[in-house]
Structure 1
Amino acid sequence: MVGLPGVRTARAALLTAAASGDWDTAISSVAPLLEGGAAQGEILNQLLLPTQVEAGARWHANRWGVVEERLCTAACESILTLVEASHGRRPTDKGHLVIACVEGEHHSFPARAAACDLRELGWRVTFAGADVPADQLRSFLAAERPDAALLSCTLPANLTGAQRSVRAAHDLGLPVLVGGAAFGRDQQRAECVGADAWATTAHAAGDLLDGVLGAAARPRIRALGDDPARQAQRLAATAPLLARIAAGALGALIGTDRALGAEPWAQNILRTLAASLLAGEEQLVHEDVDWVVEHATARGESPHTVVSLLSAVATALPESFGSERHTLQSAIDRLALQLADSGPSSAPLPPRTPGPSDPSPANETARLAALATHVDQSSPPDRHFTELVHLAAAVCEAPIAFVSFIDADSQRLWAQAGEAPHMIPRGESICARTILQPHPVIVSDLAAHPYFAATPLVANEPRWRFYAGIPIVVGGGFAIGTLAVVDFSPRTLLSTQTGVLKALANEVALHLEVDRFRAERIGDPHRSDEDRMTRLMAQVVDVRATEEGLPETLLSTQTGVLKALANEVALHLEVDRFRAERIGDPHRSDEDRMTRLMAQVVDVRATEEGLPERLLSTRDVARLFGVSTRTVANWATSGQLQPVRTAGGHYRFLIDRVLELLMERDVDPGPVELQPEPGDGQGRSVDPAAGDRA
């Protein structure tokens, strides 16, 4: 196409005038082109449509606000009306078309431009406007009885609306042609919504319409199977409600006002998710997430806020949308990996505001009572809780992990890996907000959070930046504490890491419940199985002494021991039954569950780094045991852990042996240090004790 003389000058003048609100100058910018004899199609395709594209790009990049963008669109529409009037009406002898924007689509200018072009080609065109509901479209088409319906869709999020609009026309036996940016570069998405034809330009649409209307019988392109189509429509219909729920969940993380501003984004993501189901293209969701990240960062938001938004949307999805949640989670993982590769966000942070007063659940009194019956915070935790915390740190690759409980005034860390304060005032506690939520709370960048940015642990040393916490929920639904991980750089978690963290929090809750149940049965919350066995052995000794010195009381003493043994057997049976009720498997032992959790850790590591199956890195093992990588190297050298050498020269450890060692906990690091080989065959030094990064 030959460039229209003066079009660049006219475009610049139009954009400048629209941005300043100078309506008269904006309209008059087209005058030189009209005076030069420019054709209607030239003005439309070389001036108005590119101007609209540039206006959208400026709004997306936050160079323009909504007012400037809408002023520009209104000016372009007025100019189009002026151009049409100046060129007069052409004969319309080819037939009658109705052009409409599909349900939910507000970008009407491309459709109006197509109507203008088709009139030039000899069609009588009725333009129905933007966002025409499918039932209203059906009624209008029934009254107009056109030869065909042309439907425009710009945003992929509106493809489910396009399907409803296509069906409305098909109900009347009308052929349907679709177009617009939402349909991509081929006919696949058009086929998925059930359209008869697809075109990228008005001239291409005219050629297709000549063939469609002239054919004796047009082939009907069918939509996808009923199940995905029905599921997509159901998700699109519930998107406003789900977006509101997601914004509510997000409000606890970034503030209510900002979360309400994110609600349209959440709704757009959900509708795009429905469109991806309809079209069978997960890529639609990835493209939409990229768009949201660009849009948000241009407005000063951290990209980690988008991760929190996506996580809130995934949480809001009901179980019936399991596959859609999986699709969205894959987009979250993809974004998380991109952010990890790009390093800390350089986006400007919002103003810091002090945190609110201590938040409390509605059932606070009963929650505190449940905390008192489940946990004695004056006593140290048993080793199982410490192992779970180290496992959480390992799987999330976090320097700090802890189990903490929220009492009336403070958050108290009970078991931990890494250095963290043992007591945090409740008003400064992130975990105090976590227990208010029924789902994981992940704050990708604490310094960008309106509540937590000013708290001492974030604003001052040690300057926490990332937090992920899972409520620990015991019987009755009481969230008495959290299992949390913390890091010193902005980041997020993969879905696999979040899944393991949930499983570990459930494991903590299970052990607390079992311990409480046992304490109720024996009447002493601090007496362990070993304590009771020691007491029984003492009674046996008493029996022996009675046999030799006081035979007259032998029977009663033996009877007492038998009763105690019978009570012990009954207690173990009751505890096993209680545990089985909680985990749903009467045959799964603590070791079985730990093995399963460790296997999930391996799955996470394999996802992140492509590790061989059932192998852990030196760093993983060190975090599990709460020791240095040098200590792990010593264990490997002394034979307590058998290392496996990878192709890259790094050391890995079999999960089964690591689990055995974790259960034994009698490792002697010894004085021996592992001496690595000079290199890995590729000119690099190999030293797992120096901090295994593979």
Structure 2
Amino acid sequence: MSSVLLAVTDLRTAGEAYLEHIGRADEYGAVDLVLSLLDGGVPAERLLLELIAPAQRRVGELWAANEWSVAREHGATAVSDRAVAAIAARARTAPTRGRVTVACTDGEYHALPTRLLAEVLRLRGWQVDFLGASVPGPHLITHLHQTGPDAVALGCALATRLPRAHATLTACQAVGVPVMAGGAGFGTDGRFARLLGADAWAPTADAAADHLDRGLPGFPEPRQALGHLADEEYTQLVRRRGELIGRVMTVLAGAYPPMAAYRDDQLDATADDLGHIVDFLAAALYVDDAPVFTEFVGWTGGVLAARGVPPEALGVGLRIFHDELRDFPRARHLLVQGIEAAHPDTDLEI
């Protein structure tokens, strides 16, 4: 077996052990494991992208399948953050290139993927200012004025953050700093990065680093106008968010009899779920992209099913939203598609 194949095999085996450590919130075990691999010759970038990143994806899958609790998922993520810090400290590289500011867009709290990017860039010789989760746009712009970076790398994991990401990247460009967009929120193909006018997009941390190695080319096509926002459906939906959720909760209590037996925590969880529906519906309206909403509905159905909530509960909620939003034709059309995504084998009459 070649040394390359041996390294891959060892890393895959190590991944199982690493997941076990973080699943127990075993910080010392996880850090000892990654540092032993680093000392054994596995490159730091591979540890970040081929060990820690896949483990975190698996953590998300285990939570969605209701095999891990929220507390266990949070503990695992905290341990991974410590493991990243340990690798970064051991593999510290002196800056030999320009300066990059790395931040999560305002409202985005999934910081670990963006942190991985920051550390990969440091390993490649960039001076990096990592600002962490949910950086308000005005504060980011102040930082740019104070530090004068060559580029901003903006992370967005959820499509619900796209309106704020749009405002942030536009403000960065207005002060002369190009923006590299990344994260699942911008679309698996980067289509929302293009739509919102980012200077570049990359699907992974190493691809983003490669982009910066070559410079920051702009997208070849001109920025698209968001003319669909003229109908103000997005603005009005966001404005009515709280009122709408309260109204749907009230109607849902009468339309879905099992709610009568819900505990307070179940009622709170239902209100949270309705809030997520509104937020993804608003995001889909903002970028005029139905899959933003329908894919969320499909994912939500799976998450609820894993927790014993029947699919008709989601369908009833979506129908109520549809009926409540009488003056929102685009939103109603998206909701019809969402209902179809929740019940793909059912003939609908709406």
TM-score range, shorter chain: 0.7 to 0.9
For the pair 1:86 / 2:81, whether they are aligned, the reply is no
Amino acid paired to 1:50: P
* 1:4 to partner: Cα distance: 3.3
Question: 4+ residue stretches of structure 1 with deviation over 4 A?
Answer: 210-213, 217-221
What does residue 251 of structure 1 align with? 253
- 1:206-355 to structure 2, matched below 5 A, reads 206-210=209-213, 212=215, 221-228=222-229, 231-232=233-234, 234-236=236-238, 238-252=240-254, 253=256, 254-255=259-260, 257=264, 258-317=266-325, 319=327, 321-338=328-345, 340=346
Q: Which residue, 27, 33, 36 being the options, matches 1:29? A: 33
Q: TM-score, normalised by structure 2?
A: 0.86
In structure 2, C-alpha distance between the alignment counterparts of 1:138 and 1:221, rounded to whole Å: 24
Would the alpha carbon gap of residues 145 and 267 (structure 1) be closer, same or farther in structure 2, given more than 3 Å must change? farther
* 1:288 to partner: Cα distance: 0.5
Residues 87-129 of structure 1: per-residue CA shift (max 9 Å, x gap): 1223332x11111111222111110101111112221111111
For the pair 1:14 / 2:18, whether they are aligned, the reply is yes
In structure 1, C-alpha distance between the alignment counterparts of 2:278 and 2:300, rounded to whole Å: 12
Would the alpha carbon gap of residues 105 and 238 (structure 1) be closer, same or farther in structure 2, given more than 3 Å must change? farther
8 Å CA contact 2:233, 2:330 repeated in 1:
no
Q: Which residue, 48, 57, 62 being the options, matches 1:53? A: 57
- 1:274-673 to structure 2, matched below 5 A, reads 274-317=282-325, 319=327, 321-338=328-345, 340=346, 494-496=348-350
8 Å CA contact 2:100, 2:127 repeated in 1:
yes
RMSD of aligned alpha carbons? 2.6
In the alignment, structure 2 segments of 5+ residues that lack a partner are: none
8 Å CA contact 1:176, 1:196 repeated in 2:
yes
Q: TM-score, normalised by structure 1?
A: 0.46
* 1:301 to partner: Cα distance: 0.6
Would the alpha carbon gap of residues 25 and 204 (structure 1) be closer, same or farther in structure 2, given more than 3 Å must change? closer
8 Å CA contact 1:4, 1:38 repeated in 2:
no
Amino acid paired to 1:224: A
* 1:173 to partner: Cα distance: 2.5
Q: Which residue, 132, 147, 154 being the options, matches 1:151? A: 154
Query: In structure 1, the residue corresponding to 2:149 is in which secondary structure?
Result: coil
In structure 1, C-alpha distance between the alignment counterparts of 2:340 and 2:219, rounded to whole Å: 44
In structure 1, C-alpha distance between the alignment counterparts of 2:242 and 2:270, rounded to whole Å: 12
In structure 1, C-alpha distance between the alignment counterparts of 2:344 and 2:46, rounded to whole Å: 45
What does residue 204 of structure 2 align with? 201
Query: In structure 1, the residue corresponding to 2:197 is in which secondary structure?
Result: coil
In structure 2, C-alpha distance between the alignment counterparts of 1:138 and 1:276, rounded to whole Å: 27
How many residues matched?
A: 339
In structure 2, C-alpha distance between the alignment counterparts of 1:136 and 1:495, rounded to whole Å: 49
Tell me which structure has the larger Cα radius of gyration. Answer: 1
Would the alpha carbon gap of residues 177 and 233 (structure 1) be closer, same or farther in structure 2, given more than 3 Å must change? farther
Would the alpha carbon gap of residues 178 and 46 (structure 1) be closer, same or farther in structure 2, given more than 3 Å must change? same
In structure 2, C-alpha distance between the alignment counterparts of 1:176 and 1:234, rounded to whole Å: 29
User: Which gives a bigger RCO, structure 1 or 2 (Cα 8 Å, sep 6+)?
Assistant: 2
Residues 10-57 of structure 1: per-residue CA shift (max 9 Å, x gap): 322222233333332233232431231211111111110011000000
In structure 2, C-alpha distance between the alignment counterparts of 1:309 and 1:161, rounded to whole Å: 27
Would the alpha carbon gap of residues 137 and 263 (structure 1) be closer, same or farther in structure 2, given more than 3 Å must change? farther
Identity %: 32
What does residue 96 of structure 1 align with? 99
Would the alpha carbon gap of residues 196 and 238 (structure 1) be closer, same or farther in structure 2, given more than 3 Å must change? farther
Q: Which residue, 107, 110, 115 being the options, matches 1:107? A: 110
In the alignment, structure 1 segments of 5+ residues that lack a partner are: 341-492, 497-694
* 1:189 to partner: Cα distance: 1.3
Would the alpha carbon gap of residues 33 and 206 (structure 1) be closer, same or farther in structure 2, given more than 3 Å must change? closer
- 1:137-176 to structure 2, matched below 5 A, reads 137-176=140-179
